[in-house]
Amino acid sequence: MASGVPEIHYYEHELSIRRVIEESGLQDLDQALNICDLSSVEQKHRLWQRLLPRIRPYYAVKCNDDPVVVQLLADLGTGFDCASKNELKLVLGCNVSPERIIFANPCRPVSHLEYAKEHQVANGTVDNEFEIYKLHKHYSNSNLIVRFKSEAKEAQCPLGDKFGCDADVDATALMLLAKSLNLKVTGTSFHVGSGCSELEAYDRAIKKAKNLFKFGELLGYDMDLLDIGGGFPGSDDGKFEKISEIVNTSVERYFPDERVKIIAEPGRFFVAAAYTLICKIHAKREVRNEAGKLDTVMYYLNDGVYGSFNCILYDHQVVTAEHYLDEANSLPQFKSLIWGPSCDALDKISEDLLLPNLNRGDLIGFPNMGAYTVPIASPFNGFELPKTLYFRAI
Ligand SMILES: Cc1ncc(COP(=O)(O)O)c(C=O)c1O
């Protein structure tokens, strides 16, 4: 692994956060803490293999670059989608061979491209002519994967405004340009949008990919890589099953030839559900109505939107919370407004959770916090970032 061997705690049957809190003395903790269940990542990997056997996952490192998780996925045999030199470095440091990596950032600084070249990471996406000229100059024997735009009608984080060329006119023009420069186009890619809610979007995109394959073959290219991107859910396995059915049907229809290698770039699928963030209430205020009745309880936690909860701002995540009081079910619930620790009013985690009237020192847990949280968090206002405890089933 890239950075030391972490301590891994083992559990039987099911990971109980309540038991972890009791047994690890977390009640005394001053800082927020991530509980990472590595077995959840393994279970997701098994699910992927069962439902999408023809499609090899290339984990999108940007989603969570925790070296322990990256090493685990490397050991499980996944490939990796890297966006930068440092992500390439991290993955290569986990003993991953360059063929298992796609440099899936269509606009890379030259120094990052040179690093990829030095380490023989040959597959990379491209969606504009300037990048093609850049590749011609700096990495002319790389494999160009033309990324086209084909978005879902609904997604948590659409990506099409930033990346992906028009699938008809522009993609073919880019392929012609590549041909004229003696570059090698070997496939196509798309991303329907992260947190995709319009499942048919995959079928639409795979169909467009087929047309581009035909065009590439007309130009004499050996088109052998289809990359179906990300967009898979992190905690809704039922939805993942439906997406798998659509993708498998579409792949069978448009890409029956098994010589075409099909990959995907799942990020949140692998890691979202593996993390529970444990926060402590370090201050509270009670807001009463004119009649003096308790209306809202405001809690101030030791992590907020500048830290792990950046996913609320950037990933449009709606968080859910759990508490660990014994008599919880019998207690009255109150509208709870939850703030982060900084002196900034934007630092609001949630305003419509229902919780019993908790006290300073009580813990609140937030499940499904593994995607687009860890790598983006900042220690704004001097509040430290959470450490991570790793768990695994025996
Ligand atoms: C190029 C690329 N691939 C893959 C992903 C991962 O997407 P998801 O987390 O939806 O699987 C992203 C996310 O932004 C991305 O930009």
Does the structure show a pLDDT above 90 at 24?
no
Hey, which residues does 124 pair with through a beta bridge? 103, 144
Residue 343 annotated to the active site: yes
Does the structure show a pLDDT above 80 at 1?
no
pLDDT at residue 328 in the model: 61
61-107 pLDDT, tens digit each = 999 999 999 999 999 999 999 999 999 999 999 999 999 999 999 99
User: How far is the first Cα of the chain from the last one, in angstroms, to the nearest whole number?
Assistant: 21
Query: Is any ligand 1 atom within 6 A of the Cβ of residue 127?
Result: no
Query: Is any ligand 1 atom within 6 A of the Cβ of residue 191?
Result: yes
Q: In total, how many domains does the chain have? A: 2
191 shares its domain with 320: no
pLDDT at residue 3 in the model: 52
- Ligand 1 probe mutation, 44, 62, 126, 263, most atoms within 8 A of CB: 62
Query: Is any ligand 1 atom within 6 A of the Cβ of residue 271?
Result: no
147 shares its domain with 83: yes
116-150 pLDDT, tens digit each = 999 999 999 999 999 999 999 999 999 999 999 99
224 shares its domain with 238: yes
Domain end: 254, 270, 286, which one?
A: 270
Confidence tier at 29 by pLDDT (50, 70, 90)? confident
313-359 pLDDT, tens digit each = 998 999 999 988 876 667 889 999 999 999 999 999 999 899 999 99
The separation between CA 337 and the C-alpha centre of its own chain, rounded to angstroms, equals 27
Give the residue, by CA position, lying nearest to ligand 1 atom 13: 194
158-201 pLDDT, tens digit each = 988 899 999 989 999 999 999 999 999 999 999 999 999 999 99
Give the residue, by CA position, lying nearest to ligand 1 atom 14: 194
In the reported structure, the alpha carbon of residue 266 is separated from the centroid of ligand 1 by a whole-number distance in angstroms of 6
247 shares its domain with 98: yes
Query: Is any ligand 1 atom within 6 A of the Cβ of residue 104?
Result: yes
Q: Does residue 318 lie within any of the structural domains?
A: yes
Per DSSP, 319 falls in state P
Give the residue, by CA position, lying nearest to ligand 1 atom 7: 230
pLDDT at residue 25 in the model: 79
- Residue 237, domain extent: 39-270
**Is-contact 183 136, C-beta < 8 A?**
yes
Domain end: 211, 243, 270, which one?
A: 270
Handedness of CA 123, 129, 131, 133 (dihedral sign): positive
CA–CA distance from 239 to each of 59, 190, 197 (Å)?
A: 19, 20, 9
Query: Is any ligand 1 atom within 6 A of the Cβ of residue 232?
Result: yes
Q: Specify the residue for token string 């890297």.
A: 82
- Ligand 1 probe mutation, 48, 162, 263, 265, most atoms within 8 A of CB: 265
Q: Does residue 1 lie within any of the structural domains?
A: no
290 shares its domain with 382: yes
146 shares its domain with 288: no
Q: Does residue 184 lie within any of the structural domains?
A: yes
Does the structure show a pLDDT above 90 at 22?
no
Per DSSP, 212 falls in state H
β-strand pairing of 225-227 with 194-196: unpaired
Q: Specify the residue for token string 């937030």.
A: 366
- List the one residue out of 301, 310, 250, 297 whose CA is nearest residue 279: 301
In the reported structure, the alpha carbon of residue 18 is separated from the centroid of ligand 1 by a whole-number distance in angstroms of 32
304 shares its domain with 380: yes
Query: Is any ligand 1 atom within 6 A of the Cβ of residue 389?
Result: no
87 shares its domain with 119: yes
80 shares its domain with 223: yes
99-122 pLDDT, tens digit each = 999 999 999 999 999 999 999 999
Question: How far, in Å, CA of 284 to CA of 270, rounded?
Answer: 35
194 shares its domain with 287: no
Does the structure show a pLDDT above 50 at 230?
yes
Domain end: 270, 287, 317, which one?
A: 270
Q: Does residue 222 lie within any of the structural domains?
A: yes
Q: What is the dihedral of CA 20, 24, 27, 28, to 10 degrees?
A: -160
68 shares its domain with 178: yes
Query: Is any ligand 1 atom within 6 A of the Cβ of residue 190?
Result: no
Confidence tier at 221 by pLDDT (50, 70, 90)? very high
